[in-house]
Structure formats: C-alpha cells, structure tokens
C-alpha cells in the first residue's frame, strides 16, 4: 500500500494527480495559505489557534493530530523547554514526550534521552521534576484522528504517572472535523507533564483507504 498524505488544512488526501503511475500532484497554492501535508503514521502536536508570539503560546493547550497508517498505528514526539535559557541541558529544564497510537491505545510516555547524549558539547541532564510539574499547565484538549472510517469509541483512560488514577473521567467524542474525527478532553486531564493512556475500541479503528 502506498504511503498516504493528508492536507493539514482539511485533513483530506491531495487531489490533482498528474498521472496514474506517479506520486506527483499539481497543488493549487492559495495566496493566503501554504500547502502543508502530513504523512500517515504521524502524530503532530499543534497549538490552535496561533498567537502573535511563541512566548504567549507557551502554556496554551495542545491538539494532537493523529494520522493512522495501514496498521492503525502512529508515533510522534513533543519537546518543550523554558524557551529562554540553556537550562535544558544544564538543569534538565525540559519535557520530552513520545506519543504512540497502537492496537487501539494512545499513550504519552517520557522519551528517554540516551546516557551521554550531548548538546553543544555538554551532557544533557535528565528531566527536572520541578520543571515537569510546570508542564501540567499544558493540557491536551483535543485529539483529531485522520484516516479512520468511524468515530473512535473511548473504552478507558488511565493517568499513570504524576497524578492519581483518572479512570472513569473520560474524554468525549466531538464528532467530525473536516476529514478527521475529533475527541475533546477537559483541561487538566491529559497534560504534557504526565504519562497517560487512552483506550479505544478496536472495532472503531477501521482505516479510511484514500487511493493516492
């Protein structure tokens, strides 16, 4: 199966194929929009809406764009430091998360930097617990699944590190959003500073096969 790509603007597969045996497309670039495409199997953390500076958006909520591949699986990462100093390697002032969607489960876990990893010649220290706690201000309030035929059905939720168990306090399916399915979560439930898992019904994970 050929790799699928989706337009970030509407989560639709690109149109305008030049020839049947080619992966080249003729894309209309609008005056006020630069076409951006996401490959299937990616998880993209995105802050919506955009604001006038990165500093103003530092603690804004995140939306996860999950583009499932042919196996209904996806991966992605999120990194954030204080945005001002070099304390990410000297003091561990950063969070580095790996998002994985596989076998109907979307999870967020700490990305472990290999021992001895260096930046500008200095060894990167492990995440600071104090800085990680500040990342609890950053909530994941929306998850948009792209490439599924059906609305994802939530069957369970577990916050596994940094906060007490939250099973039973579920996110809710918000319906269709352009070419994707939207899941909405309350502020403070899923955050960038904690490890968590959201389980979905395997029956609702059927792929949408857009022919490229």
Could you tell me the CATH number of the domain that includes residue 127?
Answer: 2.60.40.1180
pLDDT tens readout for residues 54-101: 888 888 999 999 998 777 789 999 999 888 888 887 788 889 999 999
The per-residue pLDDT of the chain, averaged, comes to: 80
Domain annotation covers residue 46: yes
The answer to the question of residue 22 being in a domain is no
| Structural domain that includes position 60 | 40-204
Number of Cα atoms under 13 Å in the Cβ half of residue 16: 8
Q: Two tokens at 3?
A: 């790799």
* Residue 18 within any structural domain of the chain: no
Give domain status of residue 210, yes or no: no
Task: Give the position of tokens 């080619």.
Answer: 22
Q: Could you tell me if 146 and 38 are in contact, meaning their C-beta atoms sit under 8 angstroms apart?
A: yes
Element (H, E) at 134: helix 129-134
Q: Is residue 146 part of a domain?
A: yes
Question: 33 in a domain, yes or no?
Answer: no
Alpha carbon distance 113, 78 (integer Å): 13
Mean pLDDT: which of 111-115, 132-136, 166-170 is highest?
A: 132-136
162 sits in the region (left: phi over 0; alpha: psi -120 to 50; else beta) called left
- Checking if the pLDDT of 139 tops 70, the result is yes
Q: Give yes or no for a contact between 83 and 123, defined as CB atoms under 8 angstroms apart.
A: no
What total of structural domains would you count in the chain? 1
pLDDT, tens only, 101-123: 998 899 999 888 776 676 666 67
Sorted by sequence, the CB contacts under 8 Å of residue 122 that are 6+ apart come out as: 89, 90
Percent of the chain at pLDDT > 90 equals 19
pLDDT of residue 45: 95
Q: Flag whether pLDDT at 155 surpasses 90.
A: no
Whether 192 has a pLDDT exceeding 50, the answer reads: yes
Residue 169 is predicted with a pLDDT of 55
Other beta carbons within 10 Å of 163: 16
Whether residue 209 is predicted with pLDDT greater than 60 in this model: the reply is no
Give me the half-sphere count of Cα atoms (radius 13 Å) on the Cβ side of residue 132. 17
* Beta strand pairing call for 105-110 and 118-119: unpaired
């Amino acid at each position: 199966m050929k790799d699928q790509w989706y337009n970030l603007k509407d989560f639709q597969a690109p149109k305008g194929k030049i020839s049947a045996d080619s992966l080249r497309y003729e894309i209309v670039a609008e005056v006020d929009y630069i076409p951006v495409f996401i490959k299937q199997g990616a998880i993209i953390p995105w802050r919506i809406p955009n604001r006038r500076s990165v500093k103003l958006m530092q603690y804004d909520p995140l939306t996860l764009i999950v583009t499932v591949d042919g196996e209904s699986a996806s991966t992605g990462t999120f990194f954030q430091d204080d945005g001002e100093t070099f304390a990410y390697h000297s003091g561990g002032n950063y969070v580095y998360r790996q998002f994985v969607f596989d076998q109907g489960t979307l999870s967020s876990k700490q990305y472990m930097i290999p021992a001895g990893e260096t930046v500008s010649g200095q060894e990167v220290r492990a995440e600071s617990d104090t800085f990680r706690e500040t990342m609890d201000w950053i909530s994941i309030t929306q998850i948009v699944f792209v490439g599924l035929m059906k609305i994802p059905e939530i069957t369970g939720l577990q916050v596994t590190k940094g906060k007490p168990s939250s099973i039973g306090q579920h996110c809710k399916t918000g319906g269709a959003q352009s070419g994707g399915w939207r899941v909405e979560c309350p502020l403070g439930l899923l955050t960038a500073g904690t490890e968590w898992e959201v389980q979905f019904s395997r029956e609702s994970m059927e792929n949408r096969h857009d022919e490229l």
